[in-house]
Structure 1
Amino acid sequence: MLLGVIADDFTGASDIANTLAKGLPGQGGLRTTQYLGVPDRPALEAVEAGVISLKSRSIPAAEAVALSLQALAWLKGQGCRQILFKYCSTFDSTPAGNIGPVGEALAHALGAKGVVACPAFPTVGRTVYQGHLFVGDRLLNESGLENHPLNPMTDPDLRCWLQRQCAGAVGFVPWSTVRSGADALRAALAQAAARGEGLVIVDALTDEDLVTIGRACRDALLLTGGSGIALGLPANFLDQGLASGGAASFAGISGPEALLAGSCSGATRQQIEVHSRTHPMLTIVPDRVLEGSITAADLAGFIFAHRGEAPLVASSGSPEEVAAVQRRHGRERVAAALDGLFAETARALVAGGIRRLVVAGGETSGAVVSALGLDALTIGPEIDPGVPVLVSEGPEPLALALKSGNFGAPDFFAKALRTLAGDA
C-alpha cells in the first residue's frame, strides 16, 4: 500500500476513496479499498490506497486522537509512504473539536511540520481564499452551516478556528503563492516548518490549485484536508512507476432497494422533497422515536410494503425544527436515538433481502455501516461528485451509496438506485 487515508466519518471516506480511485482525467487513479474501522488483518497486496473510515468527527477529541493513531499504526504496517487525514470540506468541528488535535497528533507521530490543511473542494463549491472558507459565494458562517446540529460553523476564518484547537502555531499560505506553482508552494511550506508551524492553512480556488498542492506534496509524509486535496496525489505514484492503477469493474447489483435519510442539510432536504413527489416516503418524528411509539420494525415494515417503489424513510427537518427537538430532549439524546433507530432498521432491511441501500448523512451512514458489520468496500463508479458506488465483500454483496448531507444533485436518490443497479 502506498497511500493511507484516515477519514473522520464514513461518507467522507467514500468521497476521498472515489477521488483516489478516479484520479485525474486521462491519467487514472489508484486501486483503492475503503475499510470500515481499523482492520484486524493485512490489506490485500493489490491495494494501492487504503481509506480507513472512522466515526470520529463528533466524539471527544482525546478519543478521536486515539482512534486515529490506531489507524496510523495499521497503515504504516502496510507500508504506506504517505498519510492523509481527511475531514469535511466544510471543516465540521467545534472550537474544542477534533481537526486540530488529530492533525497535530498525526504530525507528531510522523515527525512532520508545515503540514497542509486545506478543505477546499471546488467541484461542490468549497473554496478557501485568504484563509477563509466559502460555500459557493457565501462565507461558511452565512451558508447554513452555522445551523449544523452537531458542529455549527460560526467563523469562516480557518486560521482562527484551527488555532483554537491546536497547541502549536498554525500557518498560512495565500492563493498568490499557490498560483505561482508547486515549487513556490513547496518552499513556502518548508519555511512554515522552519518557523515551527505544524498545520498550515493553504488557499485553493480551483481544481488546478489542488493539483498544484498535490505536486508540491509529492514527498510529504502527511497532508490534511477535504477529498479535493487528494486530486493530484495518484499521479505522483503513477508517474514514478510505483502504482499501476486500474479501476475495479462493476456490473451492478439488482434486487430490493431502500433509502434512509438522516441529514438535515439543505441539499438533502431538497432531495427528499424531489423524491417524495413520485415515491412513497415515511417521515420520522423524533419525539415519537424518543417516546418509543415508532420503531425499527415500523420503518422496515414500510420499506418492505413498498418493495420495488424506491421507498424513502427520512428524519430530516428544518434547522428550526431540529433546534426545537434538541431543546426538548438534548442534542446527544436525539442523535443517539436516531442513530440507533437507523442502525437497527438497516440490520432488519439487509436481513430481509435488501441489496441496494442509499444512506444520506455522515452520522447516519456511520451508524448504518457499523450496525451491518461490514469490513471492506470496493469503490465503484461515481454517482455524483464525491459519492461513489460501494460494494461489500462476500457471497451476497450489498451495493451502497453513502452520501454526505450537502452532496448530490436534487434527483440524487433515483440516480443512486439506478447506478447501484448498473443502469446509469
Structure 2
Amino acid sequence: MLLGVIADDFTGASDIANTISKGVAPAGGLRTAQFLGVPKGAAAVDIEAGVVALKSRTVPVEEAVSDSLRALKWLLAQGCQQIVFKYCSTFDSTRIGNIGPVGEALAVALGAKGVVVCPAFPGAGRTIYMGHLFVQDRLLNESGMQNHPLTPMTDPDIRRWLALQTKATVGHIGLATVRKGMTAVSHALATTDDTFVIVDATSDEDLITIGSAITDHKLVTGGSGIAIGLPNNFISRGLASGNFGGQVGVAGPEAILAGSCSGATRGQIDLHKENHPTLAIDVDKVMSGATKSDDIVEFIKLNNGKAPLAYSSGTPDEVCQMQAKYGREEVAAKLDDFFADVARKLVQSGVKRLVVAGGETSGAVVSALDLGALTIGQEIDPGVPVLVSHGDQPIALALKSGNFGSPDFFTKAIERLNAK
C-alpha cells in the first residue's frame, strides 16, 4: 500500500476513495479499497491506496484522536508512504475540534510540519480564497452550513477556525503563489515554521499543482479534492501502474434512507416524491418509541421495485425544535440507532442496493452492517461512487454527504448500483 487515508466519516471516505481510484487522465488512479473502521488484519497485497473510514467527526475529541492514531498505525504497517487526513469540504467541526486536535496528533506522530490544510473541492463548489472557504458563490457561514445541527460553521476564515482548535501555528499560502506553480508552493511549504498551512485553491488545476508540490510530504489534510493530484506522484515514479474505477453493481431489491437536513438533500427528496413512494419519519415518534424500525422496513418491502425512500430530513426550524425538546446529542444518537436498525433489517430481508444520504446516518448504517472492505466502482455524481461489499451476500451502496449530488441523485444512484 502506497497511500493511506484516514477519513473522519463514511461518506467522506467514499468521496476520497472515488477521487483516488479515478485519478487524472491519462495516468488514472490507484487500486483503492475502503475499510469500515480499522481492519484487524493486513490488507490485500494488490491494494495501492487504503481509505480507513472512521466515525470520528462529532465524537469526543479524545476518542477521535485515539481512533485516528490507531488508523495511522495500521496504515503505516501496510507500508503507506503518505497519509491523508480527510475531512469534509465544508470543514465541519466545532470550535474545539475535531479537525485541529486530530491533525495535530497525526503531525506529531509523523514529525511533520508545513502540513497542507485544503478542504477545497471545486467540482462540488467548494473553493478557498484568501484563506476563506466558499460554497458556490457564498461564504461558508452564509451557505446553510451555519445551521448544521452538529457542526454549525459560523466563520468562513479557515485560518481563524483552525487556530481555535489547536495549539500549533497556522499559516497561509495565497492563490497568487499557487498560480506560480509547484516549485513556488513547494518552496513556501519547505520554508515555513508553521505546523499547518491553509492553501488557497479555486480549481482542479490548483489542486493538481498543490499535489505535485507535496510528493514527499508525510502528512496532507483536506477534502477529497486534495487527493486529485496524489496518484500521479506514485504512477510517475513507477510505483503504481494506473487504474480507473470499473463498473460494478449488484442486482436485487433497493432502498433509500435519508437522514441529512441539508438543503440539497431536502431538494432531492422533494423531487423524488413526485414519482416514487416516500415516507417521512416523524422524529418525535421515533424519540417516544411510537415509530419502530419495523414500520420503515415494511414500507420499503411493500414498495419493492419503486425506489422507495424513507427520510427524517427536517428544516432547520424543525431540527431546532426537536433538539430543544430532547437535546442535540440525544436526538442524533436515537436517529443513528434507528437508521442502523432499519438498514440491518433491510439487508436481512434481502435488500441488495442501498442509498444513504447524510454523513452521520451513513456512518451508523455501515457500522451496523459490518461489510468489510469495499470495492470502488463508477462515479454517480462528483464525490459519490458506487461501493460494493463482496461477501456471502454482496451489497451495492451509495453513501452521499448531505450537500452532494444532483437533484435527481436518488433515482440515478439506484440505477447505477444495479449490476450491468
Per the shorter chain, which TM-score range?
over 0.9
Residue 199 (structure 1) shift: 1.0
For 1:283-302, what per-residue CA distance to the aligned partner results, in whole angstroms no more than 9, with x for missing partners? Answer: 01110001100010000010
Q: Tell me the equivalent position of 1:22.
A: 22
1:291 aligned residue: 288
Alpha-carbon distance, 1:202 to partner: 0.5
Is 2:272 the partner of 1:253?
A: no
- Tell me how far 1:252 sits from its aligned partner: 2.7
Residue of structure 2 in register with 1:108 after alignment: 108
What SS is found at the alignment partner of 1:29? Answer: coil
- What does 1:321-336 align with in structure 2 at a 5 Å threshold? 321-336=318-333
Q: Find the counterpart in structure 2 of residue 375 from structure 1.
A: 372
Post-superposition shift, 1:38? 0.2
Residue-pair matches, total:
420
- Superposition CA RMSD, Å: 0.8
Deviation for aligned residue 1:16:
0.0
For 1:272, the equivalent position in structure 2 comes to 269
Q: CA deviation at 1:248?
A: 5.1
Distance across 1 between alignment mates of 2:316 and 2:147 = 6
Correspondence 1:4-83 to 2 at 5 A = 4-83=4-83
Residue 34 of structure 1: CA displacement? 0.1
Deviation, 1:373, is 1.2
State the alpha-carbon separation in 1 of the partners of residues 380 and 255 from structure 2: 16
Q: Distance in 1 between matches of 2:173 and 2:320?
A: 37
Deviations 1:210-248 (A, max 9, x none): 000000001110100000000000000000000113235
Partner residue, 2:188: 188
Gaps of 5+ in 2: none
Structure 1 stretch displaced more, 392-401 or 346-355: 392-401
In 2, distance between residues paired with 1:108 and 1:238? 28
- Give the aligned partner of residue 403 of structure 1: 400
Matched, 1:353 2:350: yes
Deviations 1:109-158 (A, max 9, x none): 00000000000000010000000000011000000000000000000000
In the alignment, which residue of structure 2 is the partner of 1:317? 314
Alignment partner, residue 168 of structure 1: 168
> 2 CA distance for matches of 1:205 and 1:348?
43
State the shift of 1:405 in Å. 0.3
| Structure 1: distance between partners of 2:69 and 2:206 | 29
Deviations 1:350-382 (A, max 9, x none): 000000000000000000000011111000000
CA displacement at 1:404 relative to structure 2:
0.3
Q: Which amino acid aligns with 1:100?
A: G
What residue number does 1:223 align with?
220
Query: Normalising by structure 2, what TM-score?
Result: 0.99
Q: Which residue of 1 aligns with 2:127?
A: 127
Q: Percent identity?
A: 64
Distance 1:303 1:84, change over 3 A: same
Q: Does 1:92 align with 2:58?
A: no
Shift of 1:422: 4.1
Which amino acid in 1 is paired with 2:74? W
**1:395 Cα deviation from its structure 2 partner:** 3.0
